Amino acid sequence: MSKVAILAFEQIATFELACAIEIFGLPRPEYTSWYQADVVCFEKGPLRATGGITISAKSIQTLDGYQTLVIPSWNTASNHVRLDLAEKVTAFSEQGGRIISFCSGAFLLAQLGLLQNKRATTHWRYCDIFKQRFPLVNFVDDVLYTHDQNISCSAGSAAALDLGIDIVRQDFGHEVANQVARRLVISPHRHGGQAQYIETPVAKNTGTFSHTLDWAIRHLNQPLSVDDLAKQACMSRRSFDRHFKSALGISPKAWINQQRINLAKQLLEVEDLSIEQLAQKVGYDNGITLRFNFNKYVGVAPSQYQSQFRMN
């Protein structure tokens, strides 16, 4: 069981703290092995989170015994870091502990020098100030999250969940990650290189398509068309296209391709299939179409992905 420390402090961002707790701290008795998470702090007394919420964290003197440290946020306007906190976090990193920062949490890591010459990111609205203050960090613009050695960083808000799901995928595999994502009602895997900002805001009626999406995922090995999804949703094709893109931020065709590539990645990790066999299992007509879409959404060829996964 991997022990996770979620760092709390005065005026911590409530949403990002909740994301860390949801991913790592929520009990999941259905799994024989899962994270054991504590919300910890290096100061005494109850702490205030954004929105006037009072939280009670476990006061600790050391991070010994923890394998992962999550930093949900940090004050972007301050250069001050408590000495004891700085020493403990720095020592944890130097000893090889895994550190995950959400949103503005990257500011703390950069202030401590832990991101020097490392790839990192943060919320798009903090990009300019981050690059000005920390020029020695290899900052990556407009991505959802980054991994570099023992440190991972996410962009703001919902991207914290994307990074969290990717960590679960690394630790427990695609099947468990997909189950956790399904309960959060989010995409099983948004690639870290995906852009942070989408012009079209996501509507609040995504539940309208929940049964249709579930049905489509169960039938990915069949030659699904957008017309099939529209019929399943009891909508005209034109109405379905419009409402689907409004709700999910992408076209139905792109969503189908993403789900097929997610399934292809899972199969590549556990089965030894030819490209044509793999294409058939995920609903593509041929291996050429599979290769094209795999490169488009993952950035590497299926064979390269499989060899990298097996090496890891």
Taking only the tens of pLDDT, the chain with its 312 residues reads 699 999 999 999 999 999 999 999 999 999 999 999 999 999 887 999 999 999 999 999 999 999 999 999 999 988 899 999 999 999 999 999 999 999 999 999 999 999 999 999 999 899 999 999 999 999 998 788 999 999 999 998 788 998 999 899 889 987 888 888 878 866 555 555 555 544 333 334 445 678 888 899 899 999 899 999 999 999 999 999 998 888 877 899 999 998 999 899 888 878 888 999 999 999 999 999 999 999 888 877 888 877 765 544
pTM over 0.85: no
Domain spans of the chain, in order of start: 3-176, 199-311
Q: What is the pLDDT of residue 202?
A: 36
The CA–CA distances, whole Å, from 278 to 80, 119, 269, 299, 312 equal 53, 33, 12, 18, 21
Tokens of 132: 């000005």
How many angstroms separate the CA atoms of 130 and 233, rounded? 45
- 261 Cα distance to chain centroid: 17
Q: What CATH number is given for 3-176 in this structure? A: 3.40.50.880
Amino acid at site 209: F
What single string gives the DSSP state of each residue in 223-256? ---HHHHHHHTT--HHHHHHHHHHHHSS-HHHHH
Q: What is the pLDDT of residue 298?
A: 80
* Fold annotation for 199-311: Arc Repressor Mutant, subunit A (1.10.10)
Q: What is the pLDDT of residue 3?
A: 97
* Helix H or strand E segment including 175: helix 174-184
